[in-house]
Structure 1
Amino acid sequence: MAAAETETAAALQAEVSALRMRVQELERENQNLAKAASSCTCRFKDDSVRSVAVASSCLYGSNPEARHNGKFHQSSPLEKDLSAPFYHSIISTENEIQRNRNVEGNGLPDDSSKRTKRRGRQDGTLSHCSKRLVALKVMYFGQRFYGFSSEGNTEPTVESEIFKALERAKLMVGSRKESCYSRCGRTDKGVSASGQVVISLYLRSNIKDVGGDMQNERSEIDYVKVLNRILPQDIRVLGWCPVPADFHARFTCLSREYKYLFWKGDLDILEMQRAASKFVGEHDFRNFCKMDAANVSNYRRRITEFTISACGKRSNNDELCYMTIKGTAFLWHQVRCMVAVLFLIGQGLESPSVVDSLLDITKTPRKPQYKMAAELPLILRSCLFDQTDFMCSSDASRSLTEHLNDQYHHYMLQAEIFHEALNCLPFPESNSLETLQKKRNHIPLLSRQTEPSYEERIAKVKTKLTDNLSIAS
């Protein structure tokens, strides 16, 4: 008899231990539920409350007084001992849900929304705001920039300064990739732009339904005014325009126009214009660019206009002129290479027929080595797009005009200071012997050493790629 009671007691004790472990597991689960309920929406919180109510009914029974007093309907001391921890967990869950309800009822944000907004403030993006795809028309003076693109570790660039301003103005709605960012083109170090549609990307918008009527833009953010207050003095936004979702700043561009300034000096403008006319049309310009065989295989481009005109400004008996070059697209350094060859022709060092020879890749498959024209006088004047009507508010336009006038007068004063310094020096006489010596030392383009052809470059790229794959394997 005693042995049977001992076995029964041992069995009960084992069952009690198992039940205690189960209660501890339920406590942990309810703690997790309480945490989850604090960040759920109202609908899910209501479901949690109903779940808690069901659990409470199981523990308290149907006696309202027992539920109010927090007493279980079981009378066994063992059952009370097992149920007490679970009861406290249920009560804490109910209290947590009630606190969250009170917070929502007061209209205060919960911790998760605070953290989201705090992260948005830190990285300059507001992903929860309304957004729209916008194209920005930008002007910049490239003297102090390492080109437009922010690729590599060179700073500053025009692109990096623009993104700093966008983030500071809290106009970004995500990362650069998430914003569907695209740029029309990349200018070299020192090159300026007076009207490039530099970028298109999604920006924060005041208009909730950007798919609705786009004509009424009075309530929209004044992107021009906001950005120009933050951007450095040598970068300015000229206008903005809402664009469709399939807009791409590079591939939607119909044509680009460049302008190159130069002093006439002793250049033969008529001979230069004869040679420039040979560029018009579709040609293979591999001998008039910096070849990038790894990324570019097609070197045919179309030039629609190439003219040389006088600016109407003179200084010290010299006349300022400019070249206008229009085309659908351009290769790397193409404009500066074409201008360099025209300068050789204008100096009488080359014949206009050299352009024909360099455009004939069967006759001249390798580019002769020659120095490009300087980058400072080159301006990307405009980029043409279809159905883009750029907007600029009257306030932003007035501020922009005042800023450019101030900058113009500032640099005119500097130019006058240099002009005054020149007047203090005796004007040198022209040296015809120096010009003659320069012609004697000139090596004709078609007789110079050449760079590797495209076929040789691409073969080298493939060999290098094969070697890298062999090493990796």
Structure 2
Amino acid sequence: MKVALRIAYDGTQFHGFQRQPSLRTVEGELLRVLEEVGLEPVDFKGASRTDKGVSAFGNVVAFTVPDDAAHLVKPRVLNARLEDVWVLGVAKVPKDFHPRFWAKSKVYRYYLVGWGLNVGAMRECAALFVGEHDFSAFARLDGRDPVRRILRASVEERGPIVVVEIEGESFLWEMVRRIVTAVRLCGEGKLELGDVEAMLRGEFEESRKLPPAPPEGLVLWAVKYEGVEFEVDAYTVELVRKELFERFSAAAVRAAIFEDFLRQLY
């Protein structure tokens, strides 16, 4: 039997998603608990190998277990043992299901403090990224095709917090965080829309590429599939949604206060 888990985690507590010797990772924490309850998962795969510091509310993992072990793959059974990771839902999936290759799109959210930001300008900037573009100027290239399709990009105010949400079919390394840097700079009046358009046309110097925004503000919010229905633990979903928002809002405010403090010093 092959199962998929929709998981959330606080990435600031891990050295990334992928297991690493002697380091605490999301994958390592999940495997530890699965083995603790008596499971030996086969062909363990994840939808996204998020970087160190990046969190998730809707990453997905899949693996195969014996048919008679279904009662062990339950959110409350696993959540009772997990630390800084939560199982939000479970789905039985086909044997050939791969959480990354079957994904129709991924949704990311980035949390910023809105102090001094022109949200209207940020929305105009975010809109430039929608559609199919060469994102060489907005990614750390690793040999993959830099052409990607962004389905949706929005900027929403939530009190003192501004949430940048980006949905795309697939992403390059650091792509979302570099887009967020561009959106934020537009909101600060330090980057013009024409500059962003030029970079999307390939008119940029490699040495002057925008840096990625810090990973701690980024959340993989959802991985979307067709024909995969998760049996959701509604209590855990609401609990984690509230905890993550409060955690990231507080972190964003602390970062803004620290930046203001540095400006006064220097």
The alignment partner of 1:304 has SS state of strand
Q: What are the within-5 Å matches in structure 2 for residues 444-455 of structure 1?
A: none
Give the count of matched residue pairs: 256
The alignment partner of 1:380 has SS state of strand
Contact map agreement 1:308 1:324 (CA 8 A) in 2: yes
For normalisation by structure 1, the TM-score amounts to 0.50
Task: Label 1:408 to 1:321 Cα distance change in 2 as closer, same or farther (>3 A).
Answer: closer
1:139 aligned residue: 8
The runs of 5 or more residues in structure 2 that have no matched partner are none
2:48 aligned residue: 185
Q: 1:235 aligns with which of 85, 92, 104?
A: 85
Matched, 1:171 2:34: no
**Displacement after TM superposition at 1:222 (Å):** 4.7
Matched, 1:202 2:64: yes
The structure whose Rg is larger is 1
1:237 maps to a residue whose letter is V
- Provide the C-alpha distance between the structure 2 equivalents of 1:408 and 1:327, rounded to a whole number of angstroms: 22
2:172 aligned residue: 331
Matched, 1:265 2:135: no
Q: Per-residue displacement from partner, 1:116-157 (whole Å, max 9, x unpaired)?
A: xxxxxxxxxxxxxxxx1111110111111111112x446111
2:220 aligned residue: 380
Q: Per-residue displacement from partner, 1:263-286 (whole Å, max 9, x unpaired)?
A: 111111111211111100001101
The alignment partner of 1:180 has SS state of strand
- Provide the C-alpha distance between the structure 2 equivalents of 1:181 and 1:397, rounded to a whole number of angstroms: 25
1:364 aligned residue: 204
- Provide the C-alpha distance between the structure 2 equivalents of 1:409 and 1:308, rounded to a whole number of angstroms: 16
For normalisation by structure 2, the TM-score amounts to 0.86
- Provide the C-alpha distance between the structure 2 equivalents of 1:334 and 1:182, rounded to a whole number of angstroms: 22
Task: Label 1:301 to 1:410 Cα distance change in 2 as closer, same or farther (>3 A).
Answer: closer
Please provide the CA RMSD for this pair.
Answer: 3.0
2:185 aligned residue: 344
**Displacement after TM superposition at 1:367 (Å):** 5.7
Q: Per-residue displacement from partner, 1:227-246 (whole Å, max 9, x unpaired)?
A: 112111x1000111111112
Q: What are the within-5 Å matches in structure 2 for residues 398-437 of structure 1?
A: 398=235, 400=236, 404=240
More helix by share: 1
Q: Per-residue displacement from partner, 1:268-308 (whole Å, max 9, x unpaired)?
A: 11112111111000011011011113xx2x11110011111
Contact map agreement 2:137 2:209 (CA 8 A) in 1: no
- Provide the C-alpha distance between the structure 2 equivalents of 1:322 and 1:307, rounded to a whole number of angstroms: 8
2:75 aligned residue: 224
Matched, 1:156 2:7: no
1:353 maps to a residue whose letter is G
Task: Label 1:166 to 1:268 Cα distance change in 2 as closer, same or farther (>3 A).
Answer: same
2:137 aligned residue: 287
The alignment partner of 2:5 has SS state of strand
Task: Label 1:389 to 1:402 Cα distance change in 2 as closer, same or farther (>3 A).
Answer: closer
Task: Label 1:246 to 1:324 Cα distance change in 2 as closer, same or farther (>3 A).
Answer: same
Task: Label 1:309 to 1:189 Cα distance change in 2 as closer, same or farther (>3 A).
Answer: same
1:133 maps to a residue whose letter is K
- Provide the C-alpha distance between the structure 1 equivalents of 2:212 and 2:55, rounded to a whole number of angstroms: 17
**Displacement after TM superposition at 1:354 (Å):** 1.0
Contact map agreement 1:259 1:322 (CA 8 A) in 2: yes
2:135 maps to a residue whose letter is F
Task: Label 1:410 to 1:341 Cα distance change in 2 as closer, same or farther (>3 A).
Answer: closer
Question: Which gives a bigger RCO, structure 1 or 2 (Cα 8 Å, sep 6+)?
Answer: 2
1:183 maps to a residue whose letter is G
More strand by share: 2
1:213 aligned residue: none
Q: What are the within-5 Å matches in structure 2 for residues 78-89 of structure 1?
A: none
**Displacement after TM superposition at 1:411 (Å):** 6.3
**Displacement after TM superposition at 1:391 (Å):** 1.1
- Provide the C-alpha distance between the structure 2 equivalents of 1:411 and 1:366, rounded to a whole number of angstroms: 35
Contact map agreement 1:287 1:368 (CA 8 A) in 2: no
1:94 aligned residue: none
**Displacement after TM superposition at 1:366 (Å):** 3.2
**Displacement after TM superposition at 1:350 (Å):** 1.5
2:153 maps to a residue whose letter is F
The alignment partner of 1:206 has SS state of helix
- Provide the C-alpha distance between the structure 2 equivalents of 1:404 and 1:187, rounded to a whole number of angstroms: 18
Identity %, equivalent residues: 30
